[in-house]
Structure 1
């Protein structure tokens, strides 16, 4: 049974803790989620190879912590990380393991992983590197699982052995010393980026087949090395996919995330299923999930409400927002050459999509959109077209830059923005350009969708 990514009732947790001889206070029911990741953007202006964190109440829409800056950065090896994996250990505390690699120098050999300990994710201590093997190859994309038959944790990672990309495993009790490496999964073709979840008597391994570029799921009744059989068809969204991230949600539903290949594509795609054993996954609409800004190759762990409150208090929520389109959910409101528009994310400068939602310049009951990378400049309408201009503090400017936030015209859970000084008109996009048009609840579905946005980080 996995103690890492499951939703437990308080009674079940207490029973598990007692059966394992652990303090009954060591566990709490998971009600939220935390993601660990690093960041990149198309022109690498958003590249940062430290440990980043984001939180989510539903496991689909994410809010970066610490203004999307790293909470800790490696100080040894390459002094950079990729592919961080956060894991809740059997005592209720956490460990983070990560690839020791700064940037995109994928040709280098490195036998080490970065490791940190954390009691409650508000600090990361005991930094060290552990050597996993002595092969002339890399040690990429670690994942961790509890092997009950061995009473040890397995650390599985991508490496080259015998001329083939495959998964190796070392076992550990303390994440300081490890057993000798073993081949864990070698299906006869090159594979990359494994992720493992133990559920009941089944261990699930999801991976990328480098031959066809698709994601697959394998399973084993023991979790032992070389005991897995692939049971799903290939999965892909977008033009390329890698880094499967398998999660059993707090609602017992299953989610599968896939990272796009490289920083120039949409950063994540997602699937869901209520029956992981059936091997059939439903594609999630991008409208229903929002990854953290610039996030790459992350991992997710369930956390309690107390842990959620603790990390938010410690690291802080963003002081900026992004506006996601309802009918083009891969696109965000941005400014480009001072024109307000809707563009497919990711892009650089990535800061063009970041806004400070401040009290309305003409009416504090409304809102105004101040640019993060051009402070003092606001999104305003001019001849009904939206553009970014510096605040000249005139009454006309303040009125043009003020909107009333309302329930979304196409979805009441999202938002629409009604103009302060032309109150029959709403912010909307037309051919990806932003403007204000006359709209109401009786407007066409398409028009109302054009004027509906998700406000979040």
Structure 2
């Protein structure tokens, strides 16, 4: 969540930590041990909203993506929302997903559409879901009774010592700076006992909590456009102490800590403090160290135009069922191997690689269709100009209208091979000039003979989303 300068705009200085004013429903005991029942988690789900450079892709509905490694993501439903808020502001930011103790999911999100940071709300959006294929019980949930302040970036956790869920969110305290609050609930329908969870004496937002790692709980948050961690051996409000080395890539917010399901690695996702939204990832082998190393961008790919995500593990069956319900994208994007911040796109109908993000973003979306000259090969059909295909002309690549000739078909047909620089990636050999491959040179795309290490890297791409 983008924050604002403390004290700017209408007064938001309100007292936090007041007595509970929202009664807690008596719903009986909760089912425990759901974490053990899902020990077979082998994939991940991500929730997010979308924005892009010119806001062409500004969409404040709930978006969903899946991943098998927690690093490379496949947006579902063609990167369109799977459900859209209709209450409150009529849009969401900062969605979060969690598996509850009974094995079902709850989705929380900030009640805010767009970028009007002056708008205040005591509510958040809530959905229930058994499987992330259907979303039911949509409602606004009141977190506190304070006036003239917000309820940003809600996240939840299970507090076993209380037998309650805690909902963390960012609001402004009596000194005029953001703190991380907590309100408690049994059912995500009513809350009680709103109070300050973490206030280090300076502006903090976007709290992300990892519970019970070797007896320690870790809270990551945004401070001065950097990501910082605090820790505590309890979940008692006020018990967390900052300890980690700050990380950032430019202005960074929205920390999300994710455990690898196949190794001892932890990943810290952060979102750039801009409307276009670029995620960066840091890696650590030990949360207790408080140190993180930036991960090579070759190793991860965010969903197209995604902003402020929430990530949660799911089972292989849930992964398969989500794909069956929402479908894989009908398009791909191609990431450069040696310039992994850049993607293949057309600009002025000329093929090139440019740094993500950019608008019009559909310039980088391609349908990999059977080759026009050989159906065992492929052709790259433009998504936003579907009568045009990527083809070579005088060895330079451009996006031209298919004129139906055999010459055009040959120019627009390529054989996909193992990546010349990395066999897990891909390279593309020309159909009618079989000694030449698609590569970039000074960011422009062309077909050339490939021999050197640099040329092999130039000619290697990741086919993803």
TM-score normalised by the shorter chain: which range applies? over 0.9
Does residue 165 of structure 2 align to residue 157 of structure 1? no
Question: Which secondary structure does the structure 2 equivalent of 1:334 belong to?
Answer: strand
CA distance in 2 between partners of 1:149 and 1:25 (Å): 18
Q: Deviations over 1:376-397 (max 9, x none)?
A: 1000000000000010010110
Does residue 393 of structure 2 align to residue 382 of structure 1? yes
Aligned counterpart, 1:327: 338
Does residue 459 of structure 2 align to residue 451 of structure 1? yes
Q: Counterparts of 1:12-411 in structure 2 under 5 Å?
A: 27=38, 29-135=40-146, 136-162=148-174, 163-200=176-213, 201-210=215-224, 213-237=225-249, 239-251=250-262, 252-264=264-276, 267-411=278-422
Q: CA deviation at 1:249?
A: 2.1
Question: Which secondary structure does the structure 2 equivalent of 1:71 belong to?
Answer: coil
Q: CA deviation at 1:180?
A: 2.7
Decide whether aligned partners of structure 1 residues 38 and 21 sit closer, same or farther in structure 2, where only a CA change above 3 A counts: closer
CA distance in 2 between partners of 1:167 and 1:247 (Å): 20
CA distance in 1 between partners of 2:191 and 2:35 (Å): 28
The answer (yes or no) to whether the contact 1:381–1:435 under 8 Å persists in 2 is yes
Decide whether aligned partners of structure 1 residues 181 and 21 sit closer, same or farther in structure 2, where only a CA change above 3 A counts: closer
CA distance in 2 between partners of 1:310 and 1:249 (Å): 22
Question: Which secondary structure does the structure 2 equivalent of 1:180 belong to?
Answer: strand
Matching residue within 425, 434, 447 for 2:445: 434
Aligned counterpart, 2:23: none
Aligned counterpart, 2:22: none
Moved over 4 A (4+): 19-26
Question: Which secondary structure does the structure 2 equivalent of 1:447 belong to?
Answer: helix
Aligned residues: 432
Decide whether aligned partners of structure 1 residues 23 and 263 sit closer, same or farther in structure 2, where only a CA change above 3 A counts: closer
The answer (yes or no) to whether the contact 2:165–2:185 under 8 Å persists in 1 is yes
CA distance in 2 between partners of 1:280 and 1:199 (Å): 19
TM-score (norm 2): 0.91
Structure 2 unaligned segments of length 5 or more: list them: 1-29
CA distance in 1 between partners of 2:293 and 2:452 (Å): 29
Structure 1 unaligned segments of length 5 or more: list them: 1-18
- Root-mean-square deviation (Å): 1.4
TM-score (norm 1): 0.93
CA distance in 2 between partners of 1:258 and 1:71 (Å): 23
Question: Which secondary structure does the structure 1 equivalent of 2:139 belong to?
Answer: strand
CA distance in 2 between partners of 1:377 and 1:65 (Å): 25
Decide whether aligned partners of structure 1 residues 59 and 24 sit closer, same or farther in structure 2, where only a CA change above 3 A counts: closer
The answer (yes or no) to whether the contact 1:202–1:223 under 8 Å persists in 2 is no
Q: CA deviation at 1:413?
A: 0.3
The answer (yes or no) to whether the contact 2:156–2:167 under 8 Å persists in 1 is yes
Q: Counterparts of 1:414-433 in structure 2 under 5 Å?
A: 414-433=425-444
CA distance in 2 between partners of 1:144 and 1:106 (Å): 23
Q: Deviations over 1:30-64 (max 9, x none)?
A: 10000000000000001100000000000000000
The answer (yes or no) to whether the contact 2:34–2:101 under 8 Å persists in 1 is no
CA distance in 2 between partners of 1:242 and 1:75 (Å): 27
Aligned counterpart, 2:25: none
Q: Deviations over 1:122-143 (max 9, x none)?
A: 1110000011112211110011
CA distance in 2 between partners of 1:87 and 1:264 (Å): 26
Question: Which secondary structure does the structure 1 equivalent of 2:276 belong to?
Answer: coil
Decide whether aligned partners of structure 1 residues 21 and 262 sit closer, same or farther in structure 2, where only a CA change above 3 A counts: closer
Q: CA deviation at 1:223?
A: 1.2
CA distance in 2 between partners of 1:187 and 1:49 (Å): 31
Q: Deviations over 1:68-92 (max 9, x none)?
A: 0000001111110000000010111
Q: CA deviation at 1:22?
A: 5.8
